[in-house]
Amino acid sequence: MIDPETPLSEVGERALLRHLKARIPAAQGVVIGVGDDAAAIETGAVTLLTTDVLVEGTHFSRDWCPARLLGRKALSINISDVAAMGGLPRQAVVSLCLRPELPFGWVDDLYDGLLERSAELGIGIVGGNLASTSGPIVVDVTMVGLGDRLLRRQGALSGDRVVVIGTLGAAATGLRLLRHGARLAPDGALLTTGVWTESSAGPVTRCLRAQLDPDPPWAFARSLAEQQLPHAAMDLSDGLSGDLAAMCEESQMGAAIKVESLPIDSSVLQLERARGTNAVTLALHGGEDYGLLLAVPADALQGLRDLALMWGVPATEIGEFIDGPPTVSIRSGVTLRPLEAAAYEHFRRVDDGFGPPGA
Amino acid sequence: MIDPETPLSEVGERALLRHLKARIPAAQGVVIGVGDDAAAIETGAVTLLTTDVLVEGTHFSRDWCPARLLGRKALSINISDVAAMGGLPRQAVVSLCLRPELPFGWVDDLYDGLLERSAELGIGIVGGNLASTSGPIVVDVTMVGLGDRLLRRQGALSGDRVVVIGTLGAAATGLRLLRHGARLAPDGALLTTGVWTESSAGPVTRCLRAQLDPDPPWAFARSLAEQQLPHAAMDLSDGLSGDLAAMCEESQMGAAIKVESLPIDSSVLQLERARGTNAVTLALHGGEDYGLLLAVPADALQGLRDLALMWGVPATEIGEFIDGPPTVSIRSGVTLRPLEAAAYEHFRRVDDGFGPPGA
């Protein structure tokens, strides 16, 4: 047993590796797991590959992100990408850059989250890397998935409906709540509502969980791919305005959406009433909701609604794809005005108020 | 055209992504490349997966590592892992953590190296991630390889010979040279010998290249796997003492090696004569040579030598695996004394003089 307070500089790379390796369970489809030069996994004809990173100071702060939830989220953001391609997440490698003074217990807690989340979906952790850094912690996950029937970002056609799966704004609101002192415990329970009153505990908890422990609709996405219902699909990570613009770009289509149709998360609306945040702005530009954005032909809408009902995920038609330049417009009655994308962009030094770096 | 001096904060994530995406060529076996939620690649029954990272301040310094060579090395260290499993490197995803003030040209040069190295082996760059950081640059590559006939770290048997493919000590010597002012240009040509005299230009260049632009014997390793010559194999990344100890651990075998048999790189010996460095110490504990360590049954030695000759790689028998605890001993006449592993270990705050963090 290693004392959780022991700094990594005293534990050392090899002992930490040994400890983590012993914690990682065997998984289906893994020929060779952690410990050799590379992992060997069973694969089909087409394999999905994606990578997404969480960087301290950019995507999270140790002040408000319990290590266990960070581990869960590092997997979830990659699950979201595999799911948005219609794939089944299968294996992951985990690359960590850690400061020597970090306590062993922090890394162990991170692995609690990684292993728990991977067990929920039957994902095998098959390898990774440990490296020392003098700067921000980096949790970089690469995920492999089974890809038989794919969902692309391109392929939206004129007349296809713009459909959002899930709700909007809760994750961005969660980040604001964290910045104002609200906190979750490592087990996901509410620790404190921060500057909000206790009566807001319900919506505060929901928004914090959306930010700290997102749950992409991967099983629904899998069904969607099997039935090939949408013409195009992607995950909502950077914010609706930026993500829809990306889909327009890939499909070379315009899109017109109605603000009054946005599926703003009910908790965001409840908190807006209490504190006067702008729910529409958060829903349009806030990122990290990890729902799906779909281009659905009109004759597949009913099938989509039935499927969404079956899986218990909200499906909301917010507009349509139109002929024209690949940009997003807001429809108000018969007039269209351009929507400026204000989704998060890395490297830009702007505090845009929408906060969350789309992972 | 973007001016190479423009900081990333002015370029922005989306423009940088667009630029890099346009530079990445199509590759064989890639169904969907950069730009969707995940890449989709053609795979066989068994796929190899490995990840290795280069962290600024830990693995490299911008002072002495041209961005182009860093890009090459980020691929090469992963090629080494896939090769050491007997696999064929096929695709890679590249995850970068970059500071907003970094000049665009630096990232573009890094991609020069990444694309050049991937073209040399027919590896497809199929995706990645860009994230902002306030700290050290992180270049994290995950590589996928075709794995039909595998080489494992485990499987060494008593009486098997310990064989080193390649030479030892040049990469660690290269790091020392860099610390004393020797430099390579981005194209790999010698810029300056630093504190060494011009007469040492030959060996200095060789050691710098070993450190900055390693060339793992991947084609040889592939033949080795096809013929299933060794009982066990791994790459030499952390240093012989640590790597051989790891193979002993995996195979539950001891190993006894002869110091006088070590294939010390000739340039290391030349520089040792000139400056009095300890070549044996560097060969035993210095890392990053990216050769191979093999356990070869006696009756396969001749076949191995023939294969090495065919591929033009040095193959040197340095000892044998023996029954006993999984540790490494030095054989001197009839006596054995334990070799303490002094290979690089992350998180430990020791300047052990062997320098290079085994990537």
The nearest CA of chain A is from the CA of B176 a distance in Å of 20
Q: Judged by CB atoms within 8 Å, which residues 33-62 of B form the interface with A?
A: 35-53, 55, 57-59
Q: Among all residues of chain B, which has the CA nearest to that of A127?
A: B50
Those residues whose C-beta lies under 8 Å from the C-beta of residue A209, and which sit 6 or more positions away, are: A174, A184, A188
- Helix ranges restricted to H, B24-160: 67-84, 104-121
**Residue B143: predicted pLDDT:** 98
Contact status of B13 with chain A (Cβ, < 8 Å): yes
Q: Verify whether the Cβ–Cβ distance A347 to B142 is below 8 Å.
A: no
DSSP 8-state symbol, B135: S
The nearest CA of chain A is from the CA of B202 a distance in Å of 32
The nearest CA of chain A is from the CA of B56 a distance in Å of 8
- Chain B residues close to A18, C-beta within 8 Å: none
- Do B333 and B192 contact (CB within 8 A), yes or no? no
**Residue B354: predicted pLDDT:** 39
Give residue-wise pLDDT tens across range B148-203: 899 999 999 999 999 999 999 999 999 999 999 999 999 999 999 998 899 999 99
**Residue A273: predicted pLDDT:** 75
- Do B29 and B41 contact (CB within 8 A), yes or no? yes
ipTM of the complex: 0.94
- Chain B residues close to A41, C-beta within 8 Å: 46-47, 49
Q: Among all residues of chain A, which has the CA nearest to that of B95?
A: A51
- Residue A181's identity, in one-letter code, is G
3-state SS string for chain A: CCCCCCEHHHHCHHHHHHHHHHHCCCCCCEEECCCCCCEEEECCCEEEEEEEEEEECCCECCCCCCHHHHHHHHHHHHHHHHHHCCCEEEEEEEEEEECCCCEHHHHHHHHHHHHHHHHHHCCEEEEEEEEECCCCCEEEEEEEEECCCCCCCCCCCCCCEEEEECCECHHHHHHHHHHCCCEECCCCCEEECCCCCHHHHHHHHHHHHHHHCCCCCHHHHHHHHHHCCCCEEEECCCCHHHHHHHHHHHHCCEEEECHHHCCECHHHHHHHHHHCCCHHHHHHHCCCCCCEEEEECHHHHHHHHHHHHHHCCCEEEEEEEECCCCCEEEEECCEEEECCCCCCCCCCCCCCCCCCCCC
Those residues whose C-beta lies under 8 Å from the C-beta of residue A258, and which sit 6 or more positions away, are: A318, A319, A330, A331, A332
Beta bridge mates, A209: none
Task: State the Cα–Cα distance between residues B184 and B204, nearest whole angstrom.
Answer: 10
Q: What is the maximum alpha-carbon separation in chain A? A: 68
Give residue-wise pLDDT tens across range A163-202: 999 999 999 999 999 999 999 999 999 999 998 899 999 9
Spatial CA neighbour of A355 closest among A136, A61, A81: A61
Those residues whose C-beta lies under 8 Å from the C-beta of residue A22, and which sit 6 or more positions away, are: none
pTM of the model: 0.95
Task: State the Cα–Cα distance between residues B104 and B5, nearest whole angstrom.
Answer: 6
**Residue B351: predicted pLDDT:** 44
Q: Which residue among B8, B127, B147 places its CB closest to the CB of A50?
A: B127
Spatial CA neighbour of B216 closest among B52, B96, B95: B52
Mean of per-residue pLDDT scores for chain B: 94
Give residue-wise pLDDT tens across range B117-141: 999 999 999 999 999 999 999 999 9
- Chain B residues close to A40, C-beta within 8 Å: 46-49, 85, 147, 150
Please report where in the chains the tokens 């390796």 appear, as a residue: A21
- CA distances to A190, B75, B94, B171 from B121, rounded to whole Å, are 52, 10, 16, 22
Q: Verify whether the Cβ–Cβ distance A8 to B347 is below 8 Å.
A: yes
**Residue A345: predicted pLDDT:** 79
Given its phi and psi angles, is residue A134 left (phi above 0), alpha (psi -120 to 50 degrees) or beta? Answer: alpha
Contact status of A98 with chain B (Cβ, < 8 Å): yes
What is the mean pLDDT for each group of 10 consecutive residues in chain A (359 residues)? 95 94 94 95 97 97 98 98 97 98 98 98 96 98 95 97 98 95 97 92 97 98 96 97 96 97 96 77 94 98 97 98 96 91 72 40
Sign, CA dihedral B7-B10-B16-B22, equals negative
Q: Verify whether the Cβ–Cβ distance B47 to A50 is below 8 Å.
A: no
Tokens standing for residue A21: 């390796």
3-state SS string for B47-64: EEEEEEEEEECCCECCCC
Q: Verify whether the Cβ–Cβ distance B132 to A58 is below 8 Å.
A: yes
Q: What is the maximum alpha-carbon separation in chain B? A: 68
Candidates B347, B349, B351, B352: best to mutate against A (most CBs of A within 10 A) is B347
The nearest CA of chain A is from the CA of B334 a distance in Å of 32
**Residue A2: predicted pLDDT:** 92
End-to-end CA distance of chain B: 34
Grouping H, G, I as helix, E, B as strand and the rest as coil, residue B17 is helix
The nearest CA of chain B is from the CA of A201 a distance in Å of 33
**Residue A346: predicted pLDDT:** 85
- Chain B residues close to A36, C-beta within 8 Å: 85, 152-154, 234, 250
Burial class (CB in 10 A: 0-12, 13-18, 19+), A345: buried
**Residue A293: predicted pLDDT:** 98
Candidates A346, A348, A349: best to mutate against B (most CBs of B within 10 A) is A346
Q: Which residue among A37, A42, A93 places its CB closest to the CB of B153?
A: A37
Q: Judged by CB atoms within 8 Å, which residues 265-324 of A form the interface with B?
A: none
Give residue-wise pLDDT tens across range B19-63: 999 999 999 999 999 999 999 999 999 999 999 999 999 999 999
The nearest CA of chain B is from the CA of A299 a distance in Å of 25
Q: In this structure, how many other beta carbons lie within 10 angstroms of the beta carbon of residue A121?
A: 17
Q: Which residue among B49, B81, B152 places its CB closest to the CB of A91?
A: B49
Give residue-wise pLDDT tens across range B55-113: 999 999 999 999 999 999 999 999 999 999 999 999 999 999 999 999 999 999 999 99
Q: Judged by CB atoms within 8 Å, which residues 111-130 of B form the interface with A?
A: 126-130
Contact status of A235 with chain B (Cβ, < 8 Å): yes
Tokens standing for residue B274: 């000139």
Q: Verify whether the Cβ–Cβ distance A138 to B134 is below 8 Å.
A: no
- CA distances to A66, A314, B8, B274 from A299, rounded to whole Å, are 45, 19, 45, 80
The nearest CA of chain A is from the CA of B23 a distance in Å of 17
Give residue-wise pLDDT tens across range B287-340: 999 999 999 999 999 999 999 999 999 999 999 999 999 999 999 988 999 998
- Chain A residues close to B50, C-beta within 8 Å: 37-39, 93, 127
DSSP 8-state symbol, B166: S
Grouping H, G, I as helix, E, B as strand and the rest as coil, residue B26 is coil
- Chain A residues close to B126, C-beta within 8 Å: 49
The nearest CA of chain B is from the CA of A198 a distance in Å of 35
Spatial CA neighbour of B270 closest among B197, B359, B165: B197
Q: Which residue among B45, B51, B143 places its CB closest to the CB of A128?
A: B51
**Residue B276: predicted pLDDT:** 60
Task: State the Cα–Cα distance between residues A137 and A275, nearest whole angstrom.
Answer: 33
Tokens standing for residue A223: 């069904």
Phi, psi of A317 (to 5 degrees): -80, 120
Burial class (CB in 10 A: 0-12, 13-18, 19+), B177: buried
Percentage of the residues of chain B whose pLDDT score is greater than 90: 90
Candidates B6, B21, B88, B142: best to mutate against A (most CBs of A within 10 A) is B142
The nearest CA of chain B is from the CA of A270 a distance in Å of 32
Given its phi and psi angles, is residue A239 left (phi above 0), alpha (psi -120 to 50 degrees) or beta? Answer: left
Count of residues for chain B?
A: 359
Q: Among all residues of chain B, which has the CA nearest to that of A52?
A: B129
Spatial CA neighbour of B353 closest among B256, B246, B255, B277: B277
